[in-house]
Amino acid sequence: MFNNRTKIKALLSTEPTGQEVIVMGWVRTFRNNQFIALNDGSSINNLQIVVELGLLDEATLKRITTGAALKVTGTLVPSLGKGQKAEVKASAIEILGDSDSEKYPLQPKKHSLEFLREIAHLRFRTSTFSAVFRIRHSLAFAIHQFFNEKGFVYLHTPIITSSDAEGAGEMFQVSTLPLENLPRTENGNIDFSQDFFGKSTNLTVSGQLEGELAATALGDIYTFGPTFRAENSNTTRHLAEFWMIEPEMAFYDIQDNMDLAEAFIQYLIRYVMDHNAEDLAFLDNRLKEEEKALPQAQRSEQGLLEKLQFVLDNRFERITYTEAIEVLLASPAYKKKKFKYEVKWGIDLQSEHERYLVEKHYKRPVIVTNYPKDIKAFYMRQNDDGKTVAAMDILAPGIGEIVGGSQREERLDKLQTRMQEMNVPVKEMEWYLDTRRFGSVPHAGFGLGFERMVLFVTGMSNIRDVIPFARTPKNCEF
């Protein structure tokens, strides 16, 4: 019964010659007891179903409500209405699932994104979110395609781990110990030897360290999986659970790393522009409508499609951290005291600084390199100046940092010294240090936050709107 249906996306690109078709989907609107707008999720566009007067009895007509699921049999004919070349003239309609119109929260009107977040289990049925999640799918597919074409090996790194790759300590602990009666050692600490893994474990913040192990044998690898940060950040850019893409490449330096990351971002954008043109056009129009309510100074200089095309057409600006600080110190924003956070050499650049560089000064994506070693992780390669490391961040318009990476420190003595300086437990990391003992090579890698990439490509303003079910402080619904 169900395998002989045709998806709406296919029907809308088919020449209508009166052929009989079966289509199934959910009702978006039903006008004048004659015209049903049907959508099955395959396209941003609805298919119009024309119901001749007298085809259905009164009881059936009343059941065709917004949200109801239908099976429609009919003929595909040229449309008399504007905006579509085909419609279906119904010969039979079966109601597969009723929807109580008085209780169904998605009425044919505009709903705020805040409201839709509260009913995230239903928001997929809106045009905005169906477009966002089709694009999210395309980006995920393009990620695998990009690396596969370049001969990378897809590696599944552990989700439960005993290491903290970032050294930040903001981790979710994993335990089977009874919380109401925790076992203690003689000095009063929790006795993790009695736990499931026999030691303290947590959800991963990054698969990078394990990725390095594989890269020093397989050459080029990438990971793509969930990562977790127990960071109490209620912002439009942070999630407690998010997805990361982390390639690691042997025989790469910082320049090779930047080249790959730039090509990667452009590849993903190009793929979506080629395969999700209608979804992007819808989101582009949506963004323009949203911005009409904003003061002129707060509106984007480019529309969504213009922005994406601009990123494809232009090389990313490449500057050092020191140059970035000099630009910020010379900026009108700094001189007029418009920055909330201070600007001086040695600070960790804040989002407002990153966005100024990208959106106001260079007006394009920017790659910042050679950060102060004191604000970066222990595994980054130390530069000859003794002050900076071969790190790189890619900053994108509207978001700020979208990629973070570095050339890794391949010299055993330098790495051990740095770990001791930063109080990284060397004894527990002997497995990691072995890659520097046995055939160490220059190597590099980066991490791309998947949701931030989706945010950039869709033009959405809140990261909670580009992941199906957001995990944030005090929120773990669905």
State the pTM of this model.
Answer: 0.94
58-79 pLDDT per residue, tens: 999 999 999 999 999 999 999 9
Cα–Cα separations (whole angstroms), residue 451 to 2, 90, 102, 212, 316 = 34, 41, 35, 23, 21
How many angstroms separate the CA atoms of 165 and 429, rounded?
10
What letter represents residue 380's amino acid? Answer: M
Residues of the chain with pLDDT under 50: none
Cα–Cα separations (whole angstroms), residue 347 to 169, 205, 248, 376, 407 = 20, 23, 27, 11, 21
Predicted pLDDT at 1 = 61
Predicted pLDDT at 292 = 85
Q: Beta strands 47-50 and 86-97: pairing type? A: parallel
Predicted pLDDT at 397 = 86
Task: Please name which of 208, 181, 211, 212 lies closest in space to residue 194, comparing C-alpha atoms.
Answer: 181
44-60 pLDDT per residue, tens: 999 999 999 999 999 99
Predicted pLDDT at 55 = 94
| Domains of the chain listed by start with CATH number | 8-108 (2.40.50.140), 125-170+205-465 (3.30.930.10)
301-359 pLDDT per residue, tens: 789 999 999 999 999 999 999 999 999 999 999 999 999 999 999 999 999 999 999 99
